[in-house]
Amino acid sequence: MNHAPLKCTQKTSRELGKHIPFFTVVTDLGSAHCMWFERHVDKLYVASDRLYKLARRRGGTKHEDIVMTGLPIRHGFAVEAEKLGAEGRTSEQGIVYQTQVRKELGIAPDKQMVLIMGGGEGVGSLSDIVNNLYAELSTKGIDATICVVCGRNEKLKTDLETRNFEDITQEILAKAEKRGKGLRGLLGKIRKKNRVAARLKEQQGEENKPSTPGKVDVMPLGFLTNIPEYMVAADVLVSKAGPGTIAEAAAVGLPVMMTR
């Protein structure tokens, strides 16, 4: 919302007898609410051509007052990207640096690392995502570390620290088996065009099923100021589709899995 604070700033400017500049930085890439845009701002910073057109159409902002900057992110991501090297995280330099960062953060360097984020407040379905991800990795025999950025959500952080993930995994597997035997599972099997192929595939899956569960560690984290380092340490980021987070991950070449 730009209109109300702009009016307050203009009033303060008149009372002080000097101009106070008013800038707006639009932190969206493809779409933005009309309240982002205001005709009388001193400068409006946008991230893409699409946002430039929206600013002109919705806010009527003058051409000379719109600046195309891309999506601004913290300088720390540029620093980490440089340390990973020009070839990125999959290069020899990138792998060596990632291992170094993991050791500094206390993360096992010989395991895959999944970083889960839900914003500074640690909201959303973080708890369910951690449960299901733990169950998926452990039952498939994958050794991994799950780092969960709980932000200011101390209740979630404490809960994850004391949670019995083995029991929860068994509950998830039991529910999945029950769904498979129900009406929905039956109808799904009927719709299959080739039941023989499906049966063979299922048998092959049982043969390839790991004999020992994966060793999965869950690391609940509070509010962080060193997110760039954790993104370097991670192999994949699981997060809501915030444009800032996407841009940060892209800066250090980190694959992202979006959640609702």
Asked, for residue 234, whether it belongs to a domain, the answer is: yes
Q: Which residues contact 97 (CB under 8 A, 6 or more apart)?
A: 83, 84, 85, 232
Of 19, 50, 68, the residue at which a domain comes to its end is 68
Number of domains in the chain: 2
pLDDT of 7 over the 90 cut: yes
Q: What's this model's pTM, rounded to 2 decimal places?
A: 0.77
Same-domain pairing of 62 and 12: yes
What whole-number distance in Å separates Cα of residue 91 and Cα of residue 43?
Answer: 40
pLDDT of 164 over the 80 cut: yes
pLDDT of res. 201: 61
Same-domain pairing of 127 and 38: no
Query: What values do phi and psi take at 38, rounded to 5?
Result: -145, 135
Lowest mean pLDDT among 112-121, 141-150, 251-260: 112-121
Asked, for residue 187, whether it belongs to a domain, the answer is: no
pLDDT of 175 over the 60 cut: yes
Q: What is the pLDDT of residues 57-88, one digit of tens each?
A: 888 889 999 999 988 889 999 999 999 999 99
Q: Across residues 192-207, what is the average pLDDT?
A: 57
Same-domain pairing of 8 and 131: no
Confidence band, pLDDT 50/70/90 cuts, at residue 204? low
pLDDT of 210 over the 70 cut: no
Q: Would strands 66-68 and 43-46 be described as parallel, antiparallel, or unpaired?
A: parallel
pLDDT of res. 252: 96
Instruction: Tell me which range, 76-80, 195-199, 245-249, is most confidently predicted by mean pLDDT.
Output: 76-80
Asked, for residue 50, whether it belongs to a domain, the answer is: yes
Same-domain pairing of 49 and 137: no
Name the β-bridge partners of 45. 25, 67
Residue 1: CB atoms within 10 A of its CB come to: 9
Asked, for residue 43, whether it belongs to a domain, the answer is: yes
Of 68, 92, 122, the residue at which a domain comes to its end is 68
* Structural domain for 32, as ranges: 3-68
Same-domain pairing of 85 and 19: no
